[in-house]
Chain A
Amino acid sequence: MARILCVDDEPHIVTLKCAILQAAGHQVTPATSAQEAIEKLELNRYDAVVTDWRLGDSNGRAIVQAAKMNSTMPVVVVSGYVAEAFQAAEPLADLYLEKPVNPEELVTIVNELLKTSEHPR
């Protein structure tokens, strides 16, 4: 079980993503804006972040930055604008997935990334 922060500005989508990751046995916290996500990252400890890229007026860049600042936690960007997200400046997320994502694939990927980050280099 890992603690995962899940970000999407669309409430239904964030609910779904949380449910998918919960069903896989993780403890998931939802956030529906970049600001909320960054606040939560500052206050709590998470093992991974799964975030959308376009979030209202802002984007996922600050979230990736906040997550990667003091940790090696895996960050997965799930977006309809993967190319845009990938072209954004460093730091890079660990993986970029094109929306709509297959739930099983998302679970497998998050689990794989968690495995490697548990044993940092």
Chain B
Amino acid sequence: MWLADEVGRNWITRSWHSLVLVGAAILNIVDGGRRSKAARPPPTPNLALQSVLQSLPEAVFIFDSHARVIDLNKAAEQLTGQSREELLGAHAKALFSGVTSADIDVNPESIVSRTLRGEFVRHERRIFRSAANGRPVEVRISGTPVYYPSNQVLGALIAIEDVTELSDLQQQVASSERHFAVGQMTAGLAHDFNNVLGMISQAVYVLEMAPNRSESDHTMLSIIDNAVRRGAEIVNNIREYLRGSSESRIRVDMRRLLEEVLQLAQPILEMHSDIQVIHQVDEACEVYASAAELRRVFTNLVLNALDAMPHGGVLTIRCTRSDGRMLVSVGDTGPGIPSESQHKIFSPYFTTKAKGTGLGLSGARKAIEEQGGDIRFKSSPGEGTTFFVSLPIADDQERQDSRAA
């Protein structure tokens, strides 16, 4: 979690710095106010300090001892979605009415009153429902009491920083760390599980070799053997997914690669005589990638497409140059992906197939992204699904690589 710590430290340093500056500003304002005997609105403060206050990225509110706003900056207007005129003179209670908090007793209003009692409040996290767009915003609030030289609290300076993005980032880091740990654990499990499967298949082998084996024993043994093979495939998929690809990139002729893929799928195509194949590949369709990875990805996409058309249809494979990239598409005329599932198809362990592991498409995306490409799809219910893989063109990428070398 170094990132969070780092950011946190930076924020604290930055925020202390700004609070000191603003503290100076408020003292100036209030001091000026005292001399003019006017509690609010505040008199014209020192211009330089006022611009510092206005340019701070944190929303800053300054409250008088009655918890009413006597000054604020632009970020404060943005955060609340209200204008300076609307906010001046507002009570803390009204100002923070849109704030939700898990702990109802500790709301921003109470931060103001605690600060007014002389307490320094540091970085308390709250969720705002921003009035500007209704979107929940996560904020960090700090309160600094502002004193008279006589030690009497004069007002409260409340700084609010929008940490929604930071918080999202921290969640991403946490999630990727969790992902890594799960990966490590899964790799170990896959290894052990493979050994278990190995024992089962060895036992099956021995039983198969035994003389006087009955027909029904043979059937049962082939069922076990098939199940073990499927289990081993699943474990292999998981291992491949976890291993990632480190194979070096070469110039790959997409025309040949796609022909190989279709050849691999030939036995399945022969079983489905009602599937028509449209195969259009431009001349000189060369990409710069790992051939093994691409073969795996496109085999996967073609098999998925065939799976989607058990009652026949059209399999379309195209490869064209488009906008300086190579665009390969694999399309089927199957039922399409239901719209409620579309956002999930690339996530690991998601599958719509009864016997799938779900690692196919997420592995495919990982592989394609590692090749400097991207994968998208278009699916219309009832019309079919087409996957588009865009890859760097061989010449461009090679030139770039040799320049970098």
Contact = CB atoms under 8 A, between A and B. Distances in A.
Interface of A: 12-13, 16-17, 19-20, 23-24, 80, 99-104
Interface of B: 191, 194-195, 197-199, 201-203, 205-206, 209-210
Given A80-B191, A80-B195, A100 B202 contact: yes
A99 B197 CA distance: 11
26 contacts: A13-B199, A16-B199, A16-B202, A16-B203, A16-B206, A17-B202, A19-B203, A20-B202, A20-B205, A20-B206, A23-B210, A24-B209, A80-B195, A99-B195, A99-B198, A100-B194, A100-B195, A100-B197, A100-B199, A100-B201, A101-B198, A102-B201, A103-B202, A103-B205, A103-B206, A104-B205
A91 B191 CA distance: 28
Contacts of A101: 198, 202
Nearest to A22: B206
A23 B209 contact: yes
A90 B199 CA distance: 30
Contacts of B199: 12-13, 16, 100
Contacts of B197: 100
**Cβ-closest 7 pairs across A and B:** A100-B198, A23-B209, A103-B205, A19-B206, A16-B202, A103-B202, A100-B195
A12 B48 CA distance: 83
B333 to A, nearest CB: 40
A103 B195 CA distance: 13
Contacts of A19: 203, 206
A38 to B, nearest CB: 25
Given A12-B199, A13-B199, 20 more contacts: A16-B199, A16-B202, A16-B206, A20-B202, A20-B205, A20-B206, A23-B205, A23-B209, A23-B210, A24-B209, A80-B195, A99-B198, A100-B198, A100-B201, A101-B198, A102-B201, A103-B201, A103-B202, A103-B206, A104-B205
A46 to B, nearest CB: 21
Nearest to B210: A23
Contacts of B201: 100, 102-103
